[in-house]
Chain A
């Protein structure tokens, strides 16, 4: 015979859910909300693909091993990571701070580390998709066959992704939301022109070439280009990339304000 269970024992104190569960739920929502914004889709997906197709057809710029696509793919990969980490993540986080979402989440049992991990996970998923798409367009559309090391390129891209995410979060955590929009979009334009994305830094006027050659996107695009082209390990740009990444990561951690 089944008897009703009594509930006379005092109720247990409310507890946090297992981290795996909240991490999955949080990452799912972060990803969903990122993709729900049409402007994010534009900057994450449409612009890199359009620029890739445009410049590959125009053949306005120099080639590596005789092929413009060899120059272009690493640049567009840089642009893709910049769009997601710096622009989308930066602006959405700035707004979450402005609307006190981060503050409210801080009072839930969700640990901050899990929130950060969820954001990182969602951004990384988007970036894997972007990279796969750009590589596929190069491979199938333009018979792109890089002679260099793909695993090494993935490693470089991972570092680049962290660098741009840290830059986006630094802006989001320090500046007001409207300033972050302006800052992220302004930097996007500057980096697009000066960062060795679709236009070689060597062709820039002397005045800006010095500056352009040490910018974060240039560090990533040069490293990526060299690694994919094969040959000697590009110690100088990779060192610059690592330096920027460490510096920006430190600023993000040091200056990010949750409220």
Chain B
């Protein structure tokens, strides 16, 4: 893996649709052979971003380079090197699986063997089946196969495992990891935290067209930092108790997540738990319904970073 060559670079990229800035000053670099997962709520600009990288749209502002090329202006050199998977569709409804694989292979000078590829994605027994008759997961796997047939140097996968059963999802993850091991750069969008944690070297979290976090899943979770104590109560803590908690020196922070949910950040989570339960027992505050020690999950990080302003 050439760890320090940049495969994808976005610099201050903006794209508007009808006055709404879908992507709003996004800068991002992906190294060659790296697998980056783009996370974000619906409408955050994930698909717009990936479609600009695929060469479907030109940014209004900023610069995009993929494999050293401008995906729009250098499309003749870019397209043979990129494999893409649309969020859905993209294949003739009445084409047979085998025909689709051979058709897409015909676009490339040195394609993979269509038969071997269909075998790999588990569609070897479906070559005579029409696309329309495949299940959702099978359609996705055919779409993945078509993305791979030209032996791409970079893969763009827009929600590759959406609608897949668990077995198909595992197979897809395995194939994506194989590609990465072979040095292919991979960008994928997903709503699945599990997918991001399992596959991604780095996770880019986008909100309202802007990058709000970009790091490895472990560092986003804060694995090296202090632990968290999650407490759920049946009511809000009285403000006096909250103030007393906040004065405790071994607590780095007390986050109020609303509706009686609190996060106490500390390198001594058990001590924090003891202090909190003691306080509630003594003062007769709200009832404790859940107490959990642990680090933030990627989902917690995602939710806190993408919370709607004013929600």
Q: Is B89 a contact of A104 with CB atoms below 8 Å?
A: yes
Q: Is B99 a contact of A14 with CB atoms below 8 Å?
A: no
A residues in contact with B91, CB < 8 Å? 99, 101, 104
Contacts A14-B152, A107-B84 given; indicate if A32 touches B93 (C-beta within 8 A).
no
Q: Is A36 a contact of B94 with CB atoms below 8 Å?
A: yes
Q: Is B108 a contact of A26 with CB atoms below 8 Å?
A: no
For the complex formed, measure the closest distance between the CB of A100 and the CB atoms of chain B, giving whole angstroms.
4
Stretch of B14-22, B24-32, B74-82, B246-254 on the interface side: B74-82
Q: Is A110 a contact of B92 with CB atoms below 8 Å?
A: no
Closest-by-CB residue of A relative to B102 is A25
Contact with B along A18-57 (1 / 0, CB 8 A): 1001101110010011001100000000000000000000
Asked if A106 is at the interface of the complex by the 8 Å CB criterion, the answer is yes
CB under 8 Å from chain A, chain B span 64-108: 76-77, 79-82, 84, 86, 88-95, 99, 102-104, 106-108
Q: Is A103 a contact of B86 with CB atoms below 8 Å?
A: yes
Q: Is A16 a contact of B79 with CB atoms below 8 Å?
A: yes
A residues in contact with B151, CB < 8 Å? 14
Q: Is A104 a contact of B86 with CB atoms below 8 Å?
A: yes
In angstroms, Cα B154 to Cα A107, docked, is 13
Q: Is A95 a contact of B93 with CB atoms below 8 Å?
A: yes
Asked if B140 is at the interface of the complex by the 8 Å CB criterion, the answer is no
Contacts A29-B103, A100-B89, A104-B86 given; indicate if A17 touches B109 (C-beta within 8 A).
yes
A residues in contact with B54, CB < 8 Å? 107
Asked if B56 is at the interface of the complex by the 8 Å CB criterion, the answer is yes
In angstroms, Cα B111 to Cα A22, docked, is 12
For the complex formed, measure the closest distance between the CB of A76 and the CB atoms of chain B, giving whole angstroms.
28
B residues in contact with A107, CB < 8 Å? 54-56, 79, 82, 84
Contacts A99-B93, A101-B90 given; indicate if A16 touches B56 (C-beta within 8 A).
no
Contact with B along A103-144 (1 / 0, CB 8 A): 110111110000000000000000000000000000000000
B residues in contact with A100, CB < 8 Å? 86, 88-90
Q: Which of B56, B84, B89 contacts A99 (CB 8 A)?
A: B89
Asked if A15 is at the interface of the complex by the 8 Å CB criterion, the answer is yes
B residues in contact with A12, CB < 8 Å? 110
In angstroms, Cα B81 to Cα A108, docked, is 9
Asked if B150 is at the interface of the complex by the 8 Å CB criterion, the answer is yes
Asked if B153 is at the interface of the complex by the 8 Å CB criterion, the answer is yes
A residues in contact with B79, CB < 8 Å? 16, 107-109
Closest-by-CB residue of B relative to A101 is B92
A residues in contact with B153, CB < 8 Å? 13-14
**How many residue-residue contacts, CB under 8 A, span A and B?**
93
Asked if A96 is at the interface of the complex by the 8 Å CB criterion, the answer is yes
Closest-by-CB residue of B relative to A111 is B76
CB under 8 Å from chain A, chain B span 96-135: 99, 102-104, 106-111
Closest-by-CB residue of A relative to B156 is A107
A residues in contact with B92, CB < 8 Å? 29, 33, 96, 99, 101
For the complex formed, measure the closest distance between the CB of B166 and the CB atoms of chain A, giving whole angstroms.
27
B residues in contact with A101, CB < 8 Å? 89-92
B residues in contact with A22, CB < 8 Å? 106-107
B residues in contact with A15, CB < 8 Å? 80, 108-110
Q: Which of B80, B88, B94, B99 contacts A16 (CB 8 A)?
A: B80
Q: Which of B93, B94, B99, B150 contacts A109 (CB 8 A)?
A: B150
Q: Is B56 a contact of A103 with CB atoms below 8 Å?
A: yes
Closest-by-CB residue of B relative to A259 is B56
B residues in contact with A32, CB < 8 Å? 99
For the complex formed, measure the closest distance between the CB of A64 and the CB atoms of chain B, giving whole angstroms.
41
Q: Is B106 a contact of A14 with CB atoms below 8 Å?
A: no
Closest-by-CB residue of A relative to B54 is A107
For the complex formed, measure the closest distance between the CB of B20 and the CB atoms of chain A, giving whole angstroms.
19
A residues in contact with B84, CB < 8 Å? 104, 107
A residues in contact with B55, CB < 8 Å? 107
Q: Which of B56, B86, B106, B111 has the most CB of A within 10 A?
A: B106
Q: Is A13 a contact of B89 with CB atoms below 8 Å?
A: no
Can you list 19 contacts pairing A with B, beta carbon distance less than 8 Å?
Answer: A14-B108, A14-B110, A14-B150, A15-B108, A16-B76, A22-B107, A25-B106, A33-B94, A99-B90, A101-B90, A101-B92, A107-B55, A107-B56, A107-B79, A108-B107, A109-B79, A109-B80, A109-B107, A110-B107
- Which are the 7 A-B pairs with shortest beta-carbon distances? A104-B90, A25-B106, A100-B89, A15-B109, A14-B80, A109-B80, A99-B89
Known: A14-B81, A14-B108, A33-B95. 13 other contacts (CB 8 A): A14-B110, A15-B110, A16-B79, A17-B108, A25-B106, A25-B107, A29-B95, A99-B89, A103-B90, A104-B84, A108-B79, A109-B107, A259-B56
B residues sitting closer than 8 Å to A (CB atoms) are 54-56, 76-77, 79-82, 84, 86, 88-95, 99, 102-104, 106-111, 146, 150-153
